[in-house]
Amino acid sequence: MTTKTSSLLKLNNSKKLKLKAKRLIPAQTQTFSRSATTFVEGVYPVYVKSANGSHFTDVDGNIFLDYLMGLGPITLGYNYKKVNSAITNQLKDGILFSLPHPIEIDLTELLCKTIPNTDMVKFEKTGSNAVTGAVRAARAITKKNKIAYCGSGGVWHDWYAASISRNDGVPSFNKKLIKIFDYNDSDGLEQIFEDNKNEISSIVLEPSVYEIPNKTFLHKIRKIADKNNAVLILDEIVTGFRFDLGGGQKFFDIKGDLVCFGKGMGN
C-alpha cells in the first residue's frame, strides 16, 4: 500500500459496489483469487478504477503499488503504450473474423523464434485450456490416461481439482488418474512410473515452483519421460516470458514436448 495507512483508507465506493455485486455475481467475482473473501475485509480495496505502470487507483481514489500484477500477467506494466497502440490500430480493421488473419502466422513465427524447441504453435483461450489441451493430446498420443503432476496446483484444471478437497462437481474417478510428485524429487517421480507401469501418459511440470531446481532435477525428468514414452508437458503459464523471454526452457536449459504459455502474453 502507498502513502496512507490502511486504517485511514476510505473504501465507501468499494463497499457499496461489493453489496451490489453480492446480489448479482456468485462470490462477487469472476475469478476466485480476485474475490473480496481472499483479502482482509475493510482494509483492502475491492474495486479498481484504473491502472498505469506499476500502480492502480481504486474506486475511492486510493493509489496502490500493485504487487499482484493482475494475478501474474502484468510484466510490462499497465497501460503499456506500444501494446495499447497495436490494439487500437487493430480495432480499426476489426478484431473478430470468420477466417484466420495473417497476423496469426506472423505471431507464430515470432514465438517459434523466441521460444526454444518450438516447431508449431496452437492458440488457446486461457492458460487452463492450454494445459488441459496438452494433457488431452498426450493421452491421445500415448493411449494412456494417468498424469504425473508437479506444480503450484489450483482448481483451474478439473483433472487436478479431482485430487483435492475443493473437488465439487468433478467425477471422483478422475482422482485415480492423477499422481502428484514434489518439486526436486525425481525419485518420487520414478516411483510413480514404477507403481503405474505403462499407464502414465504425461508428466506435467512447472519449470520452477517457488524454488530453483537442484542441479540434476530437470535433466532427470527429461530422461524419465523419454524412458517411459511419456509426454513432458511444461506449464509455463507463470514462468513463460518472465524467467526469460524464452521461458523456463531457456532459463533452465530443459526441453519440453508440449509447452504452455499464458499470463505474460496477456499484457
- Using CB under 6 A as the criterion, which residues of the chain lie in contact with ligand PLP when the complex forms? 126-128, 131, 151-152, 154, 156, 206, 235, 237-238, 262
**Half-sphere exposure at residue 246, Cβ-oriented, CA atoms within 13 angstroms:** 15
Nearest distance, CB of residue 237 and ligand PLP, angstroms: 4
For residue 39, what are the contacts with CB-CB under 8 A and spacing of at least 6?
Answer: 46
Nearer to ligand PLP, 1 or 266 (CB): 266
Nearest distance, CB of residue 267 and ligand PLP, angstroms: 13
Nearest distance, CB of residue 151 and ligand PLP, angstroms: 6
Q: And the C-alpha cell for 91?
A: 480495432
Q: CB atoms < 10 A from the CB of 182, how many?
A: 11
Give the SS3 label for residue 57: strand
Beta bridge partners of 205: 150, 234
Burial classification of residue 187, based on how many CB atoms lie within 10 Å of its CB (0-12 exposed, 13-18 middle, 19 or more buried): exposed
What is the residue-wise DSSP string for 172-197? Answer: GGGGGGEEE--TT-HHHHHHHHHHTT
Nearer to ligand PLP, 124 or 190 (CB): 124
Nearest distance, CB of residue 166 and ligand PLP, angstroms: 15
Nearer to ligand PLP, 74 or 238 (CB): 238
Chain centroid to Cα 82, Å, comes to 24
User: Could you tell me the CA-to-CA distances from 120 to 112, 139, 230 in Å, in that order?
Assistant: 7, 19, 20
Nearest distance, CB of residue 254 and ligand PLP, angstroms: 16
Nearer to ligand PLP, 151 or 247 (CB): 151
What value, to the nearest 5°, has the Cα angle with vertex 98 and ends 95 and 100?
A: 75
Chain centroid to Cα 34, Å, comes to 15
Nearer to ligand PLP, 60 or 154 (CB): 154
Nearer to ligand PLP, 58 or 206 (CB): 206
Nearer to ligand PLP, 11 or 150 (CB): 150
Nearest distance, CB of residue 41 and ligand PLP, angstroms: 23
Residue nearest to ligand PLP (CB): 127
Nearest distance, CB of residue 207 and ligand PLP, angstroms: 10
Helix (H) or strand (E) holding 252: helix 247-252
